[in-house]
């Protein structure tokens, strides 16, 4: 195996890392950064349509395949593995998968599903990725493939750096570029807080530019999808309240107003939502690196 080149960070890289850290700020432990948020939604993720999951899996495997990595026998680390949308199919293809997630419920669903599908997951780790000790767990430069797919676990320079340090071969990353929320989010935010719901920039450009400035040349795909869903009033209240709680205090009276809002707009107890999502995916080999400019 070709050893990885040690190249010191350039001024460009240092400046971009500082900008990235300032842009994401000090992430709160509320909303999607809280394990309880995902514990309460684990059942919904476990019920995602098989067709959508297969489509996503095909795209991931196709992109990873362009690096020349052979899945069978490969050691794989799935950061923010959730209910196993990638971990389980990779295990069924012969990969030795370690699944990490800070949500106990997500890992419970993953374990149950793996047993049902006769997929062997080598290890599950119930920890928050930003608290991982790579050396204690034996993760440093240990995996042929490291995956961070649409997960809040990897969104800062520090957590992305941990991802890179765990890889001895290929990395796969996917994240938001933009998300146009269902109108309900905007209407409820105005109703509850007398403010506009802020459309924030999302994570994909930060790690992409970091890689580029450090001499890596990832293979990139950008796609836009319209996601439609039918959820119960209770599920919608939990989801919206969870996202709002990342920056706002949500009390019982606010949840009651959300309940009334969705009940009035539901059909047979279910609310139909539509979100336009622009996402980016990229794959690169940690052993292939150019010497970056200054």
**Residue found by looking up tokens 């996402």 in the block:** 279
Task: Decide if 5 is inside a domain.
Answer: no
Cβ(275)–Cβ(181) under 8 Å? yes
pLDDT grade for 34, boundaries at 50, 70 and 90: low
Domains of the chain: total: 1
Q: Is the pLDDT of residue 202 over 70?
A: no
pLDDT of residue 1: 44
pLDDT of residue 62: 93
Share of the chain above pLDDT 70, in %: 85
pTM above threshold 0.75: yes
Residue-averaged pLDDT of the chain: 87
Rounded to an integer, the average pLDDT of 235-243 is 89
Rounded to an integer, the average pLDDT of 29-41 is 53
DSSP for residue 41:
T
Cβ(145)–Cβ(69) under 8 Å? yes
d(CA 71, CA 76): 9
Task: Decide if 194 is inside a domain.
Answer: no
Task: Decide if 262 is inside a domain.
Answer: no
Task: Decide if 254 is inside a domain.
Answer: no
Rounded to an integer, the average pLDDT of 87-111 is 94
Task: Decide if 114 is inside a domain.
Answer: yes
CATH code of the domain covering residue 25: 3.40.50.150
Q: Is the pLDDT of residue 221 over 70?
A: yes
Q: Which domain holds residue 89?
A: 11-180+200-230+280-285
d(CA 105, CA 185): 26
* pLDDT tens per residue, range 116-155: 999 999 999 999 999 999 999 999 999 999 999 989 899 8
d(CA 58, CA 39): 27
pLDDT grade for 41, boundaries at 50, 70 and 90: low
d(CA 45, CA 34): 16
List all residues 6 or more positions away from 60 whose beta carbon is below 8 Å from its beta carbon: 86, 147, 149, 172, 174, 281
Joined tokens for residue 33: 């950064």
pLDDT of residue 36: 53
């Amino acid at each position: 195996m070709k050893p990885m080149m040690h190249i010191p960070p350039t001024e460009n890289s240092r400046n971009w890392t500082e900008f990235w850290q300032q842009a994401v700020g000090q992430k709160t432990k509320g909303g999607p950064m809280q394990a309880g948020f995902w514990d309460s939604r684990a059942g919904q993720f476990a019920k995602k349509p098989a067709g959508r999951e297969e489509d996503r899996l095909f795209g991931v495997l196709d992109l990873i395949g362009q690096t020349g990595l052979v899945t069978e026998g490969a050691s794989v680390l799935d950061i923010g593995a959730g209910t196993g949308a990638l971990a389980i199919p990779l295990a069924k293809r012969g990969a030795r998968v370690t699944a990490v997630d800070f949500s106990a419920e997500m890992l419970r669903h993953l374990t149950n599903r793996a047993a049902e599908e006769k997929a062997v997951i080598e290890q599950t780790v119930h920890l928050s990725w930003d608290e991982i000790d790579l050396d204690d767990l034996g993760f440093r430069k240990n995996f042929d493939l490291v995956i961070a797919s649409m997960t809040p676990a990897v969104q800062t320079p520090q957590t992305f750096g941990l991802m890179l340090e765990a890889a001895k071969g290929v990395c796969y990353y996917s994240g938001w570029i933009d998300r146009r929320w269902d109108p309900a989010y905007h209407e409820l935010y105005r109703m509850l807080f007398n403010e506009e719901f802020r459309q924030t920039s999302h994570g994909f450009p930060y790690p992409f530019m970091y890689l580029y400035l450090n001499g890596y040349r990832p293979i990139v795909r950008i796609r836009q999808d319209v996601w439609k869903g039918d959820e119960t009033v209770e599920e919608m209240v939990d989801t919206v309240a969870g996202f709002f709680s990342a920056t706002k205090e949500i009390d019982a009276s606010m949840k009651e107003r959300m309940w009334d809002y969705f009940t009035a707009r539901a059909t047979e107890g279910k609310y139909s939502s539509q979100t336009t999502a622009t996402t980016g995916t990229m794959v690169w080999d940690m052993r292939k690196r150019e010497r970056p400019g200054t």
